[in-house]
Amino acid sequence: MLEIPSLHPTLQGWLLDGPLAAYVPAYLERLERGRYASSTSQRCLNAVAHFAHWMSLCRLPAAKLDESRIDQFLQEHLPNCGCSAPVVRHPREVHAALMPLLSILRRRGVIADLPTASGPIAEELKRYDSYMLDTRGLASGTRFNRLRIVERLLVHKFAGHPLELRRLQPEDIRRFIAEQLELRNTISNAVTINAALRDYLRWRSTCDDPVQALLGVIASPANWAQASLPRALQPDEVGRVLSSFTKTLRSPKRGYAVVRLALDLGLRCIEINRLQLDDIDWQHGTLTLRRTKSRRQDVLPLPVTAGKALEAYLRHERPVTSDRSVFVRYKAPHDAPVGVDAIRRVIRDAFSRAGIPHGRAHALRHTLACRLVNSGGSIKEVADVLRHRSLNTSLIYAKTDRAALAEAALPWPGSAA
């Protein structure tokens, strides 16, 4: 409760005498629970006080708040703000401070929850999601992206009307794809859209719907599989990445452990993000992966280098927390795992410090696979280590097998060979 007295007197009045006064204790409790720094808490309360003052000017009660009101404050009031008190005016900072306020109001029943999809389209999406999960075994991210695309199509055609798939015509599919590509005209987006529509229509065909004419208009974009080489790091680049975690960084041991797990075990960023303390068996030297992309539970041997990196982080750098995640936040809100984007950022920043332009986190998985192939491992062994469900996914690494390719290469015309 120390942040309130430190606010400017005018801001205190707006906060404690305005329309949000009843919810200030809950907001303070949230800040204390997240162990935010005092300066950050003050700026959050500053933004809430500023918003409360604007609500008073607009005679807007708390029961009428929602995301649109916050957008109105950000877009209309902040650019022309003439408030006399020293208020926070940065839109992104104000938005971050105000969104938790809506969560508090919804939890207390002051404002309505966010609307959820309902009606025939929502039921259709629910059935399709069950099919993707139970029959196809698709990961949650893949299902989410496909549901989002199919929902756009169904809303585009059937909003306000009964969902009758026989009314969907080939021209509707063509127009929908064209409109989506106008928003983002890339090959990857075209592949994603087409895959989602094909999968949905094939599912509908199992329900005895005539969809062959619709499938026929979904043309595949020119995208040759395995046309490129996997971007793996060279040994000197690996050394530069690993040595970039110096003591000048805020959390070098955490970053080093993250890179080691990706480099030595080929873990994906989401798998590193989901690791729990109970997943590490120090006695037997194993690591258990749960909720993987292939919906399996995998037990992997823990290499000495990765194990030592994890030990150093857990002993000397991991913040004190009740959370059981291996990698936890050292910035507020505390007692929470780091996000998967933070894991990617750790790897990208290491690449940047090492002077490597192709800074995708997946390059570390490619590096492990290429190392296995060039040390005599088979494509099947690569698939097992990377936990690919299909050998076809691992075939791209055959292009990096220098010894096998040298035997297959023909002599250069005019050479002595």
The per-residue pLDDT for range 81-128, each reduced to its tens digit, is 988 889 988 998 999 999 999 999 999 999 987 666 567 888 899 999
Q: Mark 99-134 as b/e (b = at least 16 C-beta within 10 Å).
A: ebbbebbeeeebbeeeeeeeeebeebbeebbebbee
pLDDT of amino acid 1: 44
The per-residue pLDDT for range 322-375, each reduced to its tens digit, is 899 999 998 888 888 998 889 999 999 999 999 988 778 888 988 888 888 878
Backbone angles phi, psi at 301, to 5 degrees: -70, 140
pLDDT of amino acid 19: 94
pLDDT of amino acid 228: 62
Residue 2 has pLDDT above 50, yes or no: no
The better pLDDT of the pair 28, 187 is held by 28
Indicate the DSSP class of residue 136. Answer: I
Q: Categorize the per-residue pLDDT at 157 as very low, low, confident or very high, splitting at 50, 70 and 90.
A: confident
Written out in words, the top-level CATH class of the domain with range 119-216 is mainly alpha
Element (H, E) at 288: strand 286-289
Write the burial class of residue 411 (CB in 10 Å: 0-12 exposed, 13-18 middle, 19+ buried): exposed
The per-residue pLDDT for range 225-279, each reduced to its tens digit, is 665 667 788 889 999 999 999 999 989 999 999 999 999 999 999 999 999 999 9
In what side-by-side order are the strands of the sheet with 298-301?
280-281, 286-289, 298-301
The per-residue pLDDT for range 36-74, each reduced to its tens digit, is 888 899 999 999 999 999 999 999 999 999 888 998 999
Domain 235-403 classified CATH 1.10.1530.10?
no
Residue type, 347: I
Q: Please tell me if the domain spanning 119-216 has the same topology as the one spanning 235-403.
A: no
pLDDT of amino acid 49: 94
Residue ranges of the domains in the chain?
Answer: 3-107, 119-216, 235-403
pLDDT of amino acid 416: 64
